[in-house]
Chains A and B, each alone.
Chain A
């Protein structure tokens, strides 16, 4: 099962196994990872599952769509490497993925 590492804004790391097919957001909720709220439950309507993805992983995950980019406008401190974790679906290629959560989601 792919291992996903969630890093808080102050550097605390949590590595968990998440089954393929789930989103990075769902992986966080199922493992009680702090820092991801996911208020809308994954309907891409709230921008509270916002994460930063490191450069070397950014091109390995599926490209960002306009609707996600639009929603990220609403996120707290979005950057170039911002993604909504509900839109990153875990595959075996993403084994080892690291995402960092922002200081807060709202």
Chain B
């Protein structure tokens, strides 16, 4: 069990800045995210797209913003727990106890939920029959490519993940790449390499078509695809790999007894506390009259929630507002050299 002053759920820009705001007022924290890297939507949805409304930064990408925040919070040495999702919370006396899906336990008087629109999960194939083959013959991500040696593989999707895996797996497998339209979107060199492999007969490309049905009872034996003009084609398939990006699901947060309004959590704008004492919500996941889903709003919300955490983390101390320009104790926490 890790004991700390505050646990932040979600390592997107707002969660990362919450580490900073807790850190400068002398609070320790641990941060947990379902993704295996920090940055949240900035990294998953638009790492290369420019953002123009971060104060004093005329233009930066989602990745640059994330890296800047990570650098800014380095001095506080927060514990990062990536690739795991908080599944359960319960209250013991004045402390919240959290348990992740990897079985790790945390305890703190404060939880700051900076969960964005929920946790990212792969978008699954919309077929009932798909369910029974998931994890055995249908995959949405690949951890062990040796599984696919000398097999017939049908890959769905038109983006970089689909193309990259088609290229990689075409080295030792029969690969069919299936996409709903003739254009693929991917890095230029990936696209040209895919075209080359198609010419060489190493990758079969089927467009414009969609998955029509999955065949097989206990074991999937093949699939049927449907072209835009209605023509059907059967393809022998040992494995389906499907790359349709990520969706966001509120997930277990919905089960914690928090008030929820249209997938968001109403908060008190004085301290960003939810209906549960000691649980705060900041960033895209919180709502209040006038709420704007902007990164800069998340920063403000994190600043206020952090101050509210102080009272619960150090009930016998008085919080004093200080400026980072002038405070010696903040300089010490930041490791500023004289």
A residues sitting closer than 8 Å to B (CB atoms) are 39-41, 43, 45-48, 66, 69-70, 73-74, 76-78, 80, 104, 106
Contact = CB atoms under 8 A, between A and B. Distances in A.
Determine the main DSSP class of B at the interface with A.
Answer: loop
Interface string B238-250: 0000001101100
14 contacts: A39-B247, A39-B248, A45-B41, A45-B45, A46-B247, A69-B181, A73-B157, A73-B179, A73-B181, A73-B185, A73-B244, A74-B123, A76-B126, A77-B210
A73 B247 contact: no
A103 to B, nearest CB: 8
A73 B284 contact: no
A77 B181 contact: no
A76 to B, nearest CB: 6
A66 B183 CA distance: 10
Contacts of B157: 73
A96 B126 CA distance: 32
Nearest to A48: B247
A77 B226 CA distance: 12
A41 B293 contact: yes
A56 B46 CA distance: 33
Contact of B123 (A43, A70, A106): A106
Contact of B117 (A39, A77, A104): A39
Contact of B185 (A43, A70, A80, A106): A70
A70 B180 CA distance: 11
A46 B159 contact: no
Interface string B174-204: 0000011101010000000000000000000
Nearest to B210: A77
A41 B183 contact: no
Nearest to A73: B158
Contact of B46 (A43, A70, A80): A43
Nearest to A32: B262
A15 to B, nearest CB: 22
Contacts of A70: 158-159, 185
